[in-house]
Amino acid sequence: MRAHYGKVTAAFAMISALALSGCSAGGDSSEAGAEAVPCEASEGPVELTFTTWVPGMDQVVELWNTENPDIQVQVQTGPNGNSGTYQNFFNQIQAGNAPDLGQIEYDALPNFRVQDGLENIAECEGIADAQDQFVDWTWGQVTFGEEGSVYAIPQDSGPMAMYYRADLFEEAGIEVPTTWEEYAAAAEQIKAQGSYITNFPKTDVNWFAGMVWQNGGQWFANDGESWDVNLTSPESEEVATYWQDLLSKDLVSTLPSFSDEWNASFNTGQQWTWVSAVWGATTLSDGAPDTSGKWAVAPMPQWEDGGEAAGNWGGSSTAVLKGSDHPAEAAKFALWLNTDPEALALANELGGLYPRGDVGHRTRGLRRRRRVLRRAEDLRRLRRRFREREPRLHLGPHDDADLHGRLGRIRCCHRWLRHPDGRSRERTAEDRRLARIAVHPRLRVVPAPLPDLPRSAASRKGRGASRVDGVLLQCAEPVEARLQHAAFPPTTPSPCTRAADLRQDPLRPRPLGCNRLAG
């Protein structure tokens, strides 16, 4: 409650302060956005501060400090990002005394970008060349597809897989599902046994994003000038419909995630599977100790038979925060932290980080998680697959409350997709909701042209018939709007002009911002 109040007041203070600074700074800031600031090394010994909440990070930094007497890093710890540290970063950036480096999760990074809270370190030594050391999609998360921009160094990721109770599946003679279709069928069989196949996490937006991710959905895209927001693409809707169906038939439970109740349901065999990130094994081994050794891990069920797609849940980066006096040294440290094999191994062991760089994928670790798993080689195989997986979903700037609220709506709307028409062209209410995203003075909402959709009398009748239906119907509307961001200066012609090429070769990695045209 208190934290919430703080968030609100902080947000107000921030918005008003940004509005003020926006007036005074004017054009200068927009120019600075495009080209990376020259990154020169400071003279003499440097002291950096690094705020993180990853356990054991102080020991990793200790390693750096002994090797680099001239660049000493001091670690500061606090609650994890969304529990207050991000808000503190914003306050500190505002007050001009932010730490040099900060731990920022991928879903929060764009918020820092649009509020001008990050230093562009692209010009710093070795940064541009470092791209090869990271998986493409992680690099995409820290550059936002802007030319000549790098705002953070990728750190860890949370590739997803399916943990399942091998013993229970064997006993019941149920095949371990490999596709979502089989998964739904297994859910019914398991329900007949008095258990649930899994729990639908009502509050984990990023879990849902991982599901959409696997299906190739795209929520946010940036073409260098503006952001496309699209929460109801066919891919997203397919995922939502699928889970809605399971929910309506009561084939999945809806316990609050990570609660004791939830842990107990795993421990007592009430849940047979958990589609979760690589860090999920630790959660299971601690929350469900009685089931130790009974779990196995398999790839996520696929939408297409024989598919190899996986999603991602979680992960963070090391960002150089605005106002750092020593961006060059900070960038150097961030790069070391996320590419040095020794540092990665240590971070993996102590903090349980699943590294995001290619380098990281080769390190040892994951030992702690194996004890819960029956077949450790599964995890090794999966790791290889995660590395090769094609990047899909990119996270974008959002008003947290709004995005969460909207997804909350999607989740709450039990009947939403079963509306006879499912779509409507009316989008005034949606526009109004989008306008709320644009409370930020630098963001502007421009409605995007909507696809021409059939508008049956039934849908209007549905709207009129019940107020509840009216709300439900809004959920199914295509949420498309372009959030134009004034701070992004015009760049080279949009890569989206090549949309035709993309259509011909769907496997080719899409440049950011082209989803709407290409899809």
Partner 1 sequence: MTAAPATAPKRQRGGRPTANSADTRTRGPRQSVMSRSAAMLIMGVFTLYFLTPIWWLLTTSTKTGGEITSTAPLWFTADSLGTFFGNLGRLFSYGDGLFGRWLLNSALYAGVGALIGTIIAAMCGYALAKYEFRGREAIFNIVLSGVLVPATALALPLFLIFSQVNLTNTMWAVFLPSLVSPFGVYLARIYAAASVPGELLEAARLDGSGEIRTFFTVSTRLMAPALVTIFLFQFVAIWNNFFLPLIMLRDQDLFPVTLGLYAWNSQISQIPELRSLVIVGALVSILPLIIAFLALQRFWSSGLGAGSVK
CB of 451 to partner 1, least distance (A): 39
Cβ atoms of 45 and 323 within 8 Å: the answer is no
Of 95 and 446, nearer to partner 1 (C-beta) is 95
CB of 107 to partner 1, least distance (A): 15
Cβ atoms of 157 and 387 within 8 Å: the answer is no
Of 372 and 475, nearer to partner 1 (C-beta) is 372
CB of 84 to partner 1, least distance (A): 5
CA distances (Å), 89 to each of 116, 428, 496, in order?
Answer: 12, 35, 34
Of 127 and 281, nearer to partner 1 (C-beta) is 281
d(CA 163, CA 298): 6
CB of 77 to partner 1, least distance (A): 5
d(CA 27, CA 385): 46
Write out the E strands in 375-479: 443-447
Of 50 and 134, nearer to partner 1 (C-beta) is 50
CA distances (Å), 314 to each of 91, 209, 253, 307, 498, in order?
Answer: 24, 10, 22, 22, 31
Chain centroid offset of residue 123 CA: 26
CB of 336 to partner 1, least distance (A): 22
Cβ atoms of 274 and 199 within 8 Å: the answer is yes
CB of 467 to partner 1, least distance (A): 36
CB atoms within 10 A of CB 464: 10
Burial 306-342 (b: 16+ CB within 10 A, else e): ebebbbbbbbbbbbbbbbbebbbbbbbbbbbbbbbee
Residues that bind partner 1 (CB under 8 A): 2-3, 5-6, 9-10, 13, 49, 51, 53-55, 76-80, 83-84, 87-88, 91-92, 94-97, 99, 258, 260, 263-264, 267-268, 279, 282-283, 285-290, 351-352
CB of 427 to partner 1, least distance (A): 36
CB of 7 to partner 1, least distance (A): 10
Cβ atoms of 328 and 334 within 8 Å: the answer is no
Cβ atoms of 324 and 330 within 8 Å: the answer is yes
CB of 468 to partner 1, least distance (A): 35
Of 85 and 339, nearer to partner 1 (C-beta) is 85
d(CA 486, CA 114): 9
Cβ atoms of 135 and 356 within 8 Å: the answer is yes
Of 79 and 493, nearer to partner 1 (C-beta) is 79
Cβ atoms of 374 and 294 within 8 Å: the answer is yes
Of 372 and 395, nearer to partner 1 (C-beta) is 372
CB of 20 to partner 1, least distance (A): 13
Of 111 and 283, nearer to partner 1 (C-beta) is 283
Of 285 and 474, nearer to partner 1 (C-beta) is 285
d(CA 294, CA 364): 23
Of 95 and 412, nearer to partner 1 (C-beta) is 95
